[in-house]
Structure 1
Amino acid sequence: MYMPELHALSAMVIALGMFYGFIQGKLRVEIVSLLTIGSIALLLYFLPMPGQDQYAGLQLAFEGFGHYALVTICSLMIMGRGLVVTGALDPATRALARVWQFNKSAGLLFTLVVCMFLSMVVNDTPVLVLMIPILVQTAMRGGMPASKTLIPVNAAILIGGMSTTIGTSTNLLVVSIAQDLGMRTLPVFHFTPIVLSTVLIALPYIWLVMPRLLPDNTKAVAVESRTFLAKLRVDTDSPMRGKTIEEVRGRLPAGVTAWLPPDADDGYVGRRVFASGTLEDLQETARKISAKLAPAWVLDRVEADSGRTAQDLIVAEMIIAPDSRLIGLTSRASGLDGVALLGIHHARQPFRDTRQHSPDAPMKEGDVLVVMGVPEELRSIAETEGLLQIEGVQEVARSAKAPVALAIMAGAVGLASLGLVPIAISALAGAILMLATGCVRFDRVGRALSAQVIVLVAASIALGKFILVSGAAAWLGGLLAIFLQLLPPAGVLAAIMVFVTLLTNFASNTAAAAVGTPIAFNIAQQLGLPAEPLVLAVLFGCNLCYATPVAYQTNMMILTEGDYRFSDYLRSGIPLVLIMITALSTSLVYWYDI
């Protein structure tokens, strides 16, 4: 085996340095990515490739920032943001909550399947963001402990994400690099049947076995949720009007207590219902009984302020300071202007509290108000009324835009799936429509885009190209081919998946894609195998990131919520990795008849 050329050796050194930086974790991912780009640029500027000038190297190093794969990834992130902020996925999350109330085991299975299909067209991270509070709240209400459900649900999301070309940014990166190497364009759902066939084997393990391998950390993560007293204004056309309070209670979430105000002597629901519960439960109660948590004219006013100022409505919790004007006033007499008061939490008093357990009781120092409005109005009342914000803000979903957001996402995915336009064009058009229709506001685009993902993808594209043109891919491919030629096709595919999976779980899936794709392409040429199944083996291996918390950002997101240890990921993830590698390599051999 000949020794690699200087540029090929340099490419491998830079790749190893990138992996080492990710594994060490001392530098941020963005810094490691930018250092990788800078190293390639400097090397090729002072030591150009044979037959090229200094500026050709600069173009190679920085072309990732203008690559169509990065444009596609950013466009998909914007569309995913549109689905979240408009609440387009809320019906699915409410359906999940209802199934969990019916049966824990059925709830987990239904959640796994729904998350799997959602993550086929929506980026993995937003899907998990939606699921975490549902699973945590379900656990607090006597459901399965969150520490036993978060890792399985995350695994299902990752499997769903690997089943389409747009499921994850890594998939797009692998397909894009392969296209640059000469492979045909793959439709969005081209390899979905391959992944779904493996789900039949993996799903029973995720559903029935994985929760048993995980600890019950309920006590470690349990947090007492703040409950609020609220006055629900029942709509005139609500089906609850005229019902008894007992009938209404049968429709409410488990954590909500409801009663009639003192002036409702007949026991039947009229214009008002008092309730106590968490903010999420009170919002769900208002939806179920067709009611509002604040007067309709106040809600109309704050929504008009949002439209006038082009600012999103947000909900914040504020504590009443000792010098607040509100002390001793009722919510009706408070005179809060420009915001909607949704509920009040009564603080425990140092001596006996004689206040009624009612949203109409006088406010006292330490009480917590949950209010909704535009940011400038919230800041204004905090300054003028002696209030202190104590919780992070929560954006109010622009539900009127939900059908528009769903239609845009469906149109973008549908056009690409039918092969009418490339996904890069349909995704960009979808992102533009999300902005033009107001589903995503332009000044909030920064919240949709991840700087970490952008520079990581750009660095991976540059590294992948350098590994190819420098001859490093050919050298590594030849070295691996010496050993792989002794294996059957299924063994070759499994070996490539194992190699990429190890890189993914201990470094970065995008970097693994950048290194693995050109190597797989070269191995296919040397062994006389079709390139497509080997490239898909790389793509699948990049998604088998179940075994460590550092393998993927969603793994890190659930680390604290589930109070997991590194060993929890290893114990539950390694068997799933082995199941998926065996099933996927077998399916690829059958699918491509090799």
Structure 2
Amino acid sequence: MRRGNSIAAKTGGYLVLETPPPHAIGALLLTFAMFYGFVSGRVRVEIISLLTLGVIALALFIAPLPGQSPTDGLKLAFEGFGHYALVTICALMIIGRGLVTTGALEPAARTLTKVWRFNRQLGLLVTLLLAMFMSMMVNDTPVVVLLLPILVSLAARGGMPASKTLIPVNSAVLIGGMATTIGTSTNLLVVGIATDMGMRPMGVFDFTPIVLIAALVALPFIWLVMPRLLPDNSPASGHQPRCFRATLRLGERSMAIGKTIDAVRRLLPDETTVAGPADRILTAGARLTISAPHEALEETVRLLGAHAAPPWLMERLNADYARTGDDLSVVELAIASDSGLIGKRITESGVAETYNVAILGTHSGRPGLDSLNDTDADTSLSEGDILLVAGALANVQKLARGENLLVLEGLREMPRTMKAPLALAIMAGAVIPASIGLVPIAISSLGGAILMFATGCVKFDRVGRALSAKVIVLIAASIAIGRIVLDSGAAEWLSQLIALGLQFLPAAGVLATIMLFVTLLTNFASNATAAAVGTPIAFNLAEQLGIPVEPLVLAVLFGCNLCYATPVAYQTNMLIMSAGEYKFGDYTRTGVPLVGLMIVTLSALLVFRYGLH
């Protein structure tokens, strides 16, 4: 594999940085543009990833790398879709989906509920430990998906407020996911790239002892300190309850007809906010954009004689109720990371026609959308948003199942518990042979995914919910970015740049700096892309500083998992944001100390483990 021209020299024993090759400059600019796209959030991750692949393919076709043909660039750009790391990630997604749909993890959840009812502090500790160990074997997101409704429900019944438990539990999940090669897709990506570059293949549990010791150091902070740093956002503490934005349609007999918005505001509950100019005269059929808690929303609808959904839809729901006798329920549903509703507006989602339910209002999980105006109620839906949905129980269940939504209050889909032991056996069959070195994890996980389909633990028509298109395209683009950064000489140049500042530091300082560098990238951009860029840099840096490559690669892997400090750092961070009523500062206040604690501990453990004293 070509690494580019020499871009550094030594003068008097010191490293001197030279100008990078043109292809390296282009690779760095493209990487920066990709990072900026992720951070800005203006364009969806899938679009940015596909654009990145397209730019790589076209640029290398027009200006191939030295010694390569134009078609070699196409291979470099798109070979990530066939990379064994991506195949392994997809297979593990399917296995994780099988564990969720069969209820294989439900016994642990029931035990957890009993412990919480016995003692809240003990319940939190057991939850943290359970979350940590579950995420070692199952991808982080399904673990949070399982625990989120449980913790929200316990909080509603007088348990510890959800705002004080969700970030600590999420942090424990992220630490557990760091402990094995299969814990997260990022781990598999780092190990896969490093193996391609010549590092020895790593087993499932090769670095687990290091992470477990670091987890013991971090656990007291997560358990005892983090909840104290977080606000009590429960209604009992006087915190404003979750508000839903809704568009109300005034009926022909509404008492608001002929009145101004200012006059109407004085008649509504104090918690209700109405958008629009104060002197606007309301007419029959007019629409009002409001923001209100659930109870206040229903009271506002009653007082105004209005509908929170199109009148034809409410008439159809009431007609179904009259015909079938099925009670109408109002349920809060959170949008998961792989929901088909992400990026769609309510008016274009087709939910009403497909599932015969009405979306009464939305609560945004995105920071910066607290202001209310006339267009807020129909903004594009995003991961972590919460929907207030009305409909028959069976139809709401179909919606939650069909669009991959999490039930926060009310309903819960019944798992296929008869297949739970089988799903656990398949998971064990995929992990154990790989952990003892009998077969590669790519082979065992692929076999496990096939068995999940063959046994009915995951249905073929549900595979779209098991696999995340966003993750697939992102991983493929990350692999391509990693290759172009390496082959163009950009990784060598960056490693030289970093080495200039690190050449006089001890090994522990080098490892801590690399971990911090990757941590900053992963908290403000994509951890997958940070992994793809950081791994080649680690290889070149090891050569420049004379440090074994394996601890540097693990420093990159660990840094990619230290995504506690911002809500955009990882998809589970966004998933809990609305349910916990969190602000950006809540993540920073609790995440920055945890990042510092983990970097110091992990760096020291790597030095001790690899004898770099």
1-side partners of 2:128 and 2:413: how far apart?
26
Find the aligned partners of 2:443 and 2:111 in 1 and give their Cα distance: 33
CA contact (8 A) 1:8 1:467 kept: yes
The answer for the alignment partner of 2:519 in structure 1 is 501
Structure 1 residue 171 corresponds to structure 2 residue 194: no
Residue 65 of structure 1, aligned match among 64, 75, 81 = 81
Give the match for residue 520 of structure 1.
Answer: 538
**How many Å apart are 1:323 and its aligned residue?**
4.0
Q: 1:564 to 1:345 in 2, by over 3 A?
A: closer
Q: Which residue of 1 aligns with 2:478?
A: 460
The one of 440, 443, 458 equivalent to 1:440 is 458
Q: 1:31 to 1:514 in 2, by over 3 A?
A: same
Query: Who is 1:89 aligned against?
Result: 105
Q: Which amino acid aligns with 1:533?
A: P
CA–CA distance in structure 2, aligned partners of residues 344 and 469 of structure 1:
60
Alignment partner, residue 602 of structure 2: 584
| 1:434-455, Cα deviation, whole Å (9 max, x unpaired) | 0000000011100000010000
Q: CA deviation at 1:370?
A: 3.2
Residue type of the partner of 1:370? L
Corresponding residue of 2:217: 201
**What are the superposed Cα offsets for residues 249-305 of structure 1, whole Å, 9 maximum, x if unpaired?**
xxxxxxxxxxxxxxxxxxxxxxxxxxxxxxxxxxxxxxxxxxxxxxxxxxxxxxxxx
What is the correspondence of 1:32-47 to structure 2 with a 5 Å cutoff? 32-47=48-63
- Counting only pairs closer than 5 Å after superposition, residues 65-464 of structure 1 correspond to structure 2 as 65-219=81-235, 321-323=317-319, 326=322, 370-371=393-394, 395-464=413-482
CA distance in 2, matches of 1:70, 1:517: 16
Q: Secondary structure at the match of 1:120?
A: helix
Conserved 8 A contact 2:397-2:411: no
Match of 2:34 among 10, 18, 25: 18
Q: 1:2 aligns with which of 10, 15, 18?
A: 18
Please give the alpha-carbon distance, in whole angstroms, between the structure 1 residues aligned to 2:522 and 2:394: 44
Compared CA separation, residues 526 and 153, structure 1 to 2 (3 A): same
Mapped to 2, the partners of 1:20 and 1:484 lie a distance apart of 26
Amino acid in structure 1 at the alignment position of 2:62: F
- Cα shift readout 1:28-68 (whole Å, capped 9, x = no counterpart): 01111111111111110000011111110110000000100
Residues 506, 551 of structure 1: 8 Å contact kept: yes
Asked if structure 2 preserves the Cα contact closer than 8 Å seen for 1:477 and 1:522, the reply is: yes
CA–CA distance in structure 1, aligned partners of residues 217 and 522 of structure 2 = 22
Cα distance in structure 1, aligned partners of 2:318 and 2:500: 77
Q: Secondary structure at the match of 1:440?
A: coil
**Structure 1 residues 160 and 319, CA gap change in structure 2 (3 angstroms):** farther
Matched, 1:485 2:503: yes
Q: 8 Å contact 2:321–2:328 — kept in the other structure?
A: no
- The alpha carbon displacement at 1:5 in A equals 0.3
Q: How far apart, CA to CA, are the structure 2 residues paired with 1:193 and 1:68?
A: 26
SS in structure 2 opposite 1:88? coil
| Cα distance change on mapping 1:183 and 1:323 into 2, 3 Å | closer
User: Does the CA contact (< 8 Å) of 2:61 and 2:70 recur in 1?
Assistant: yes
| Matches of 2:460 and 2:511, distance apart in 1 | 44
Q: Which runs of 5+ in 2 are unaligned?
A: 1-16, 244-313, 331-389, 403-408
How has the CA–CA distance of structure 1 residues 324 and 440 changed in structure 2, closer, same or farther, with 3 Å as cutoff? closer
Q: Is the 8 A contact 2:79 2:480 kept in 1?
A: yes
Counterpart residue type for residue 46 of structure 1: I
C-alpha contact (below 8 Å) 2:397/2:413 kept by paired residues = no
User: Quick one: which amino acid aligns to residue 143 of structure 1?
Assistant: G
**Does the Cα contact within 8 Å between 1:413 and 1:426 map onto a contact in 2?**
yes
Match of 2:297 in 1: none
For 2:442 and 2:85, how far apart are their aligned partners in 1? Answer: 7
Match of 1:563 in 2: 581
Alignment check: 8 A CA contact 1:78 1:448 kept: yes
TM-score (norm 1): 0.74
What does the per-residue CA deviation read over 1:310-350, in whole Å, with 9 as the maximum and x for residues that have no partner? xxxxxxxx9995545847xxxxxx7x8xxxx7x8879xxxx
Deviation at residue 517 of structure 1 after TM alignment: 0.4
TM-score by length of structure 2 reads 0.72
Match of 1:50 among 45, 59, 66: 66
Residues 461/322 of structure 1: CA separation in 2 closer, same or farther (3 Å cut): closer
What is the rounded CA distance, in whole Å, between the counterparts of 1:39 and 1:393 in structure 2? 46
Residues 322 and 191 of structure 1, relative CA distance in 2, 3 Å threshold: closer
Mapped contact 1:113–1:156 kept (Cα < 8 A): yes
Q: Is the alpha carbon distance of 1:422 and 1:221 closer, same or farther for their aligned partners in structure 2, counting shifts above 3 Å?
A: farther
Check the 8 A contact 2:393/2:411 in 1, yes or no: no
Kept in 2, the 8 Å contact 1:221–1:562? The answer is: no
For residue 493 of structure 1, give the secondary structure of its aligned residue in structure 2.
Answer: helix
Q: Which residue pairs with 1:552 in the alignment?
A: 570
C-alpha distance in structure 2 between counterparts of 1:189 and 1:429, whole Å = 20
- Letter aligned with residue 76 of structure 2: L
> Using the alignment, how far apart are the partners of 1:18 and 1:163 within structure 2?
28
Letter in 2 for 1:584: L
Q: 1:368 to 1:525 in 2, by over 3 A?
A: closer
Residue 200 of structure 1 and its aligned partner are, at CA, apart by 1.4
* Counterpart among 590, 593, 597 of residue 575 in structure 1: 593
- Provide the C-alpha distance between the structure 2 equivalents of 1:392 and 1:137, rounded to a whole number of angstroms: 9
For residues 168-198 of structure 1, give each alpha carbon's deviation from its aligned partner in whole angstroms, at most 9, with x where no partner exists.
0000000001001100000001000000011
Partner of 1:301: none
Larger Rg: 1
Tell me, which stretches of 5 or more residues in structure 1 are unaligned? Answer: 225-317, 328-333, 347-366, 380-390
Contact in 2 for aligned 1:86/1:398 (Cα 8 Å) = yes
Contact 1:140 1:222 (8 Å CA) reproduced: no
How much has 1:395 moved relative to structure 2?
3.9
Using the aligned pairs only, state the percent identity: 65
Counterparts of 1:584 and 1:109 in 2: how far apart (Å)? 22
Q: Secondary structure of 2:136's partner? A: coil
CA contact (8 A) 1:467 1:515 kept: yes
- Structure 2 distance, partners of 1:102, 1:90, is 19
Q: Is the CA contact 1:320–1:368 (under 8 Å) kept in the aligned structure 2?
A: no
Cα gap change, 1:140/1:10 in structure 2, threshold over 3 Å: closer, same or farther?
same
Q: Is the 8 A contact 1:496 1:534 kept in 2?
A: yes
- 1:494/1:585 contact within 8 Å kept: yes
Residue matched to 2:14: none
Query: How many residues in Structure 1 have an aligned counterpart in Structure 2?
Result: 457
Q: CA RMSD in A?
A: 2.4
Give me the whole-angstrom Cα distance separating, in 1, the residues matched to 2:566 and 2:393. Answer: 39
Q: Secondary structure at the residue paired with 2:55?
A: helix
Q: Secondary structure at the match of 1:479?
A: helix
